[in-house]
A and B are shown apart, each in its own frame.
Chain A
């Protein structure tokens, strides 16, 4: 097990959300959109611009700033 910010994951890597840093509002919004503690995330694209990921069957685009604050355990 290793902890990494989401933004450092490569395409097709998988991890579980361990924690989210940042202000409460943003955190809560992410939780509500399904990016909550314990959720499994697969990275579909991470080169330039927002990341694209799959969270429990749903495809999301997420800005890099946010992805820096989401810590996954791999």
Chain B
């Protein structure tokens, strides 16, 4: 099967084109060893099937970010049969910069000149024939969002697969650099052929860290590079300049762009949403409304249905199992353990789906970039990057996607901090815990208590961020550079598709890791055999009894509270469920509330809430941290340090409160 790769700048419409090419035949995975998303899909054309790979959106193919390395490694080592370079017609100059690097790699490339409609409305006049001639690369005009030009693009790509040559001339970088490239190529002769020598030579002169690393073993080349001394940094920028000169010459005769562009609708909207007084309030309102709608639609409207289905499923299953004379232990495992446990997590699917839907719309319209912009000032004062706030917002829904969204932070330091502080953002799964305790003790001031809990989470996150940036991750926070793409109407289909990808990811997690943890908890609750399940005599109860003294200084040193916190590490939803079980099979309604009123003092309740807000994140989050950092050390750190902070916080609240006589 032939492979076609898509490369292009962020916001060039690459993903829209990918969707137009592959329809629903696509799946999302990860590039091996890195956290960069890998999208693949299939295209059927004239009875043949082509594999389409959507490479990460990048401005360049250097070693600046994981994305760039993934993209260029695939182009060189993945041997795509043809590369489609998506170029934003409204911004040809900068987009062609990526093209020049494809040419340096000797890639078989065709250009999809996308967003032709927007270029037209901006009065940008492009002579496609001439542009193609000047570049030596076929250029096909497209409007991916309206599915225009797709067929001719496919036609050309397929034709190109069977052609063996490319028609473009090498770019000249001026006499000196051209000579250096030539010299290094000679020195490289005979060494590994993993990468084209010409490209290696250019990248070495550009000071590309990855390539220099690979050249370490090559004495000759190293000596030569060292002999360049301070000329090296001169060359580095000279090469970039020369690429732009090359582009300048090409578009000079083929692209005519009006010099004075009038104020666009995007500019008008930006004047309001990035305004120094209005920016943050508008952002706050948008987020507030999104969350409100998420809870109303996801929890109140749809959540009930899912809960009902799961109950029905449980009833239906136990009915069948009973007629089959299933032993009691298996029955209890399947109904209480599997259906009840995994079900407790699946109930959150509508909430997550709706949250993703709204976040997807904010992302697709281009507003998220503005949100990062307005928050940057505040975050910078704390040594954090503006984009950190976006991941925190996402964390309010669920910390798993919150942590995944830290991928947009290019700098390792910024990303690690954003990742480590994310679990302090109180996720949806912790919400039921607050509700139960609020109705037990603070029914009259529920709103204020909720506000204080969420606020405390944000404050702890920001304080920890500040501490991390001063200790573990010293150094400058990376500079704020971000493109503010024009506002666009979101594509309903692509928002839904993205949402579905993420929900599916969540379901898989629920189906595997949460299933395992739930099973373990259930086993602990019935052993040793013969004890009352979920009693103090069960293993689970004994574990609780052992842990309990740790929480005595925080005012909730009971085995029941301990065991619910223990279960909460599996999934936060389990805290309330376990409290329900251990307090004499109380269901989650009034009985549980009165049981809690007897077991906790109001002060201990506050202390317990502080603990549940801050302590060790759930197993799904820890699994995500492992996946994202690829480090057991950081995963353990993520399990331990929030626990310490939660414990210290809870003890502080309880002790100070006791002294004050609360």
Chain A interface (Cβ within 8 Å of chain B)?
A: 24, 26-34, 36-38, 44-45, 47-50, 52, 54-63, 65-66
Contact = CB atoms under 8 A, between A and B. Distances in A.
A49 B377 contact: yes
B397 interface: no
Nearest to B279: A49
A74 B244 CA distance: 22
A49 B207 contact: no
B257 interface: yes
Contact of A66 (B90, B261, B479): B479
Given A28-B237, A37-B241, A60-B484, A48 B276 contact: yes
23 contacts: A29-B481, A30-B481, A31-B240, A31-B241, A32-B59, A32-B60, A33-B94, A33-B481, A34-B94, A48-B377, A49-B373, A54-B261, A56-B91, A59-B266, A59-B267, A60-B483, A61-B369, A61-B373, A62-B480, A63-B380, A63-B480, A65-B479, A66-B480
Given A24-B207, A26-B479, A61-B484, 20 more contacts: A27-B237, A28-B237, A32-B240, A34-B94, A34-B97, A37-B241, A44-B267, A44-B270, A49-B376, A50-B480, A52-B270, A52-B484, A57-B124, A57-B257, A59-B485, A59-B486, A60-B483, A61-B481, A62-B479, A63-B380
Contacts of B266: 59
Contacts of A28: 62, 206, 236-237, 240
B122 interface: yes
Nearest to A57: B91
Contacts of B362: none
B94 A58 contact: yes
Given A32-B97, A63-B376, A58 B480 contact: no
Please list the 7 inter-chain residue pairs (A to B) with the smallest Cβ-Cβ separation, ordered nearest first: A63-B480, A34-B94, A49-B377, A59-B484, A32-B60, A31-B240, A63-B479
Interface string B126-157: 00000000000000000000000000000000
A15 to B, nearest CB: 14
B276 A31 contact: no
Contacts of A48: 276, 377
Contacts of B485: 59
B236 A24 contact: yes
B91 A50 contact: no
B64 interface: yes
A24 B233 contact: yes
Interface in B173-197: none
Q: Which of B64, B241, B261, B484 has the most CB of A within 10 A?
A: B484
Interface of B: 59-60, 62, 64, 90-91, 93-94, 97, 122, 124, 206-207, 233, 236-237, 240-241, 244, 257, 261, 266-267, 270-271, 274, 276, 369, 373-374, 376-377, 380, 386, 479-486
A50 to B, nearest CB: 5
Nearest to A66: B479
Nearest to A11: B271
B481 A49 contact: no
A61 B314 CA distance: 53
Contacts of A26: 479
A3 B64 CA distance: 30
A7 to B, nearest CB: 13
A29 to B, nearest CB: 6
A24 B481 CA distance: 16
A66 B91 CA distance: 22
Contacts of B233: 24
A60 B485 CA distance: 8
Contact of A24 (B90, B237, B274, B373): B237
A50 B651 CA distance: 41
Contacts of B206: 28
A62 B240 contact: no
Contacts of A24: 207, 233, 236-237
Given A36-B241, A50-B376, A52-B274, A61 B482 contact: yes
A31 B526 CA distance: 65
Given A28-B240, A37-B241, A44-B270, A60 B376 contact: no
Contacts of B267: 44, 59
A33 B122 CA distance: 21
Contacts of A33: 59, 94, 481, 483
A30 to B, nearest CB: 7
Nearest to A29: B64
Contacts of B479: 26, 62-63, 65-66
B379 to A, nearest CB: 10
Nearest to A22: B479
B483 A50 contact: no
